[in-house]
């Protein structure tokens, strides 16, 4: 299994981010075929109360690397990736890895 982790840095406006994320980006991402599971995380302060290094994370799981590549290069995948620039004002880091049991 392959996972794409999308790490969102802190946006300029959390209210604007959350509204766009829920109403526009997530429905767009839901149109991608081949994703077996999606997990969404909103980070809180660390044990010492420190601000977390990232604001949010989306984890998309795929059965194979081939499927991931097909999905992300599809029109729906490209639309979701291109959409990031419209609301992720703090920046985005994407990491791809193999899931180990």
Count of the separate structural domains present in the chain = 1
Count Cβ neighbours within 10 Å for each residue of 11-41 and write b for 16 or more, e otherwise: beeeeebeebbeeebeeebeebebbeeeeee
E strands, the chain, are: 2-8, 37-42, 56-62, 92-98
Residue 94's CATH number: 3.30.70.100
Domain that holds residue 88: 2-44+51-98
pLDDT in tens, 32-83: 999 999 999 999 999 999 999 999 999 999 999 999 999 999 999 999 999 9
Which position has the token pair 């109360």? 49
CA-to-CA distance for 9 and 17, rounded, in angstroms?
11
Q: Is the pLDDT of residue 101 over 90?
A: no
Q: Write down the pLDDT at residue 89.
A: 97
Distances (CA, A) of 74 to 8, 15, 64, 78: 22, 30, 15, 6
pLDDT tens digit string along 12-24?
A: 999 999 999 999 9
């Amino acid at each position: 299994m392959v996972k794409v982790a999308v790490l969102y840095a802190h946006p300029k406006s959390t209210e604007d981010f959350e509204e766009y994320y829920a109403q526009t980006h997530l429905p767009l991402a839901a149109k991608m075929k081949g994703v077996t599971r999606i997990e969404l995380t909103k980070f809180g302060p660390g044990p010492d109360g420190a601000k977390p290094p990232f604001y949010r994370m989306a984890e998309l799981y795929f059965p194979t690397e081939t499927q991931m590549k097909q999905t992300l290069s599809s029109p729906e995948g490209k639309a979701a990736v291109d959409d990031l620039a419209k609301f992720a004002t703090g920046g985005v880091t994407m990491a791809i890895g193999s899931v180990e049991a």
